[in-house]
Structure 1
């Protein structure tokens, strides 16, 4: 994960997931929903009892981290980092520390996806609390491993990862609160914003590998450290703007979709029982031939 590709995969994955959750939240707010409704897999893929109520979100939580684990072990092609201990060395040292830290992080997000699948298929509404608890655990593990991940790094890398830990911690805290206070719209919005901050900052780390200015970041330059913090503050505003843009697009879609689905005369009308019986007799006469055909 200490490469451009290693940061790009989780960054893009988190960004797409954050946009997905922002769209769900925006539509729920526009429709006045009290519960977020996650789209389920198509009926053809839900024949098995375990997967009949599984959402796209749960599947993505399993697939994307799995790709990350494969990349940690076998990318670039030809390498193999599955080994944890160098048995040839008499000291039996641990090897590939960073890769095993990343694999552990990905593994807990896979665990969160598996918990979602089992909960959605069998546990019903109360299982939502278990889903949020497993998701919060994944972020707490990420923060805990990040503390040791920044050891023996340059001062610039330490600053970058410390700033990454800030939205991760608050996102884990929000998910923890959601265990006891589920289905609360302000928490939905806060979670969307923190997810967008986290994912956009992950992409900012990717920019440090290929600087837009063409000049590499310098760990020994205090000016670079200062601007790194400034950029993080800008990402806070950028995430809010992205959520507002998502809400605006969803609002336009919702208004147009509502106007398309409205058809004249589609509203429920009460049968005129007070009128003469001629209309009722006429309706019965029209219904009899249909019954005979059936």
Structure 2
């Protein structure tokens, strides 16, 4: 969700060929499919359950029903919207609008932070702490995506977004372990200062471990490109450096096309 590296912009629609789904990214389709599955699960799983009602009209107070399920459905819906925007931008617009895609994805992550803020109300200390720590990388991913709407193609932002995305994912798994399946068999105690302190300590470990993982992947890729790419370079077309003379007409034409692609109609 929002942690991928830079992607090449798609060519204009008239140059994409006639295959209907050829230029539609897998990412957008996967977003829609997984979130739709999640929504169905929240509404109808386990079999026989029906959580489609928002209000209990039979009760005198007319209380709302299934608060957590509807929070999850709302979260899934915004990520589904992000997937739909990806598909529309990359398939049905004359030119791909990358800024619109970034904005839709940022909105989905902001919604996660907002929903988490209400999700932890009236919860135990342990559950509040792990969700607060989860909100930190989620907000930073949303913030980076927002910045990229106006300042795209910044490698520093790519690294920060990827790092926070890894932390977000690993801490989500840690959250499930802490709340539901602690390895020791003993639940974490909210009234224990040691337990609460170690939650934050473990989160710091996640920050460090994910930074090491990112550095390791970067290092391995760099080594592969440096030592192995020469052996496979002959299998495909060789790329040449673009001439940089200001008088070169081809360079000017390419720069104009790049500006049009980046603007994307915004």
For the aligned pair, the TM-score class normalised by the smaller chain equals 0.7 to 0.9
Q: Secondary structure at the match of 1:212?
A: coil
* 1:82 and 2:48 are equivalent in the alignment: no
The CA distance in 2 between the partners of 1:139 and 1:98, in whole Å, is 17
- Structure 1 residue 259: deviation in Å? 3.2
Q: Residues 1-294 of structure 1: matches in 2 within 5 Å?
A: 18=3, 21=4, 25=5, 35-37=6-8, 47-48=19-20, 51-123=21-93, 127-208=97-178, 209-255=180-226, 258-263=229-234
The CA distance in 2 between the partners of 1:181 and 1:149, in whole Å, is 32
Go from structure 1 to structure 2 and tell me whether the alpha carbon gap of 1:223 and 1:267 turns closer, same or farther (over 3 Å shift): closer
Go from structure 1 to structure 2 and tell me whether the alpha carbon gap of 1:182 and 1:111 turns closer, same or farther (over 3 Å shift): same
Go from structure 1 to structure 2 and tell me whether the alpha carbon gap of 1:124 and 1:193 turns closer, same or farther (over 3 Å shift): farther
- Structure 1 residue 150: deviation in Å? 0.7
Which entry has the higher C-alpha Rg, 1 or 2? Answer: 1
Whether the 8 Å CA contact 1:73–1:80 is kept in 2: the answer is: yes
Q: Which runs of 5+ in 2 are unaligned?
A: 11-17, 240-266
Higher relative contact order (CA 8 A, sep 6+): 1
- Structure 1 residue 138: deviation in Å? 0.7
Go from structure 1 to structure 2 and tell me whether the alpha carbon gap of 1:81 and 1:249 turns closer, same or farther (over 3 Å shift): farther
Whether the 8 Å CA contact 1:38–1:56 is kept in 2: the answer is: no
Whether the 8 Å CA contact 1:111–1:134 is kept in 2: the answer is: yes
Q: Secondary structure at the match of 1:144?
A: helix
Q: How many residues align?
A: 230
Deviations 1:201-242 (A, max 9, x none): 100011111112232212222211110000111111111122
Instruction: State the 4+ residue runs in structure 1 displaced beyond 4 angstroms.
Output: none
Go from structure 1 to structure 2 and tell me whether the alpha carbon gap of 1:83 and 1:262 turns closer, same or farther (over 3 Å shift): same
Q: Which runs of 5+ in 1 are unaligned?
A: 1-13, 26-34, 40-45, 269-294
Question: What is aligned with 2:261?
Answer: none
